[in-house]
């Protein structure tokens, strides 16, 4: 049975894999995450997941590699991780009272007889925020929670109070859509708790 490399240092992705009983090693991949000119959000997250999985295969050629990239998208614009408190404030102001999309590109790869086989998918979830005040935004920023998260919020943390409704995969919003990831891993003979 092949071992799995999670090509990510994300504690949230590790917790999600633990939740479905997957055994893995992990390593962060250093790739350029700049958006290409006129690149659609779904193409962007899929490209980054694919680049991460390819970097993981180079690092650990004998392992199955899983990679993912999650972005928050408002009106077609990709919101990355905020650089500072003002950027976080601006993102949360933009999300207030609106519905946005969370897209995750997931890719799984394995080298078999010198050839790399990759399976990938993009998962989309709609997230609707209540109207949040400037004071609530400032209080949330003071927690430090928004600073390492796409779109400046974590649904699994204190920002859960801002979320009025989601349509689609909850774990996708956290950073790894588990139903879809589990199916991809099973195609590469990586067991989940059901196995």
A 10 A CB-CB count for 77 gives: 12
Active-site annotation, residues: 69
Four-residue CA torsion sign, 156, 187, 103, 36: positive
> 181-185 long-range contacts, Cβ below 8 Å, gap at least 24?
181/16, 181/17, 181/20, 181/66, 181/68, 181/106, 182/20, 184/66, 184/106, 184/108, 184/119, 184/120, 184/121, 185/4, 185/22, 185/64, 185/66, 185/108
């Amino acid at each position: 049975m092949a071992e799995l490399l999670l090509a990510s240092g994300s504690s949230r992705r590790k917790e999600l894999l633990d939740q479905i009983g997957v055994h893995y090693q992990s390593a962060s991949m250093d790739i350029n995450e700049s958006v290409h000119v006129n690149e659609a959000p779904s193409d962007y997250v899929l490209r980054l997941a694919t680049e991460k999985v390819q970097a993981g295969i180079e690092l650990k050629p004998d392992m199955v590699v899983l990679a993912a990239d999650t972005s928050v998208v408002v009106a077609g614009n990709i919101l990355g991780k905020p650089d500072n408190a003002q950027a976080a404030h601006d993102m949360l102001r933009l999300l207030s009272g609106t519905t946005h999309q969370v897209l995750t590109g997931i890719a799984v790869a394995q080298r078999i007889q010198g050839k790399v086989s990759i399976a990938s998918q993009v998962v989309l979830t709609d997230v609707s925020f209540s109207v949040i005040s400037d004071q609530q935004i400032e209080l949330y920023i003071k927690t430090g929670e928004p600073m390492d998260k796409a779109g400046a919020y974590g649904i699994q943390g204190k920002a859960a109070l801002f979320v009025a409704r989601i349509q689609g995969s909850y774990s996708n919003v956290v950073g790894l859509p588990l139903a879809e990831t589990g199916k991809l891993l099973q195609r590469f003979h990586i067991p989940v708790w059901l196995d």
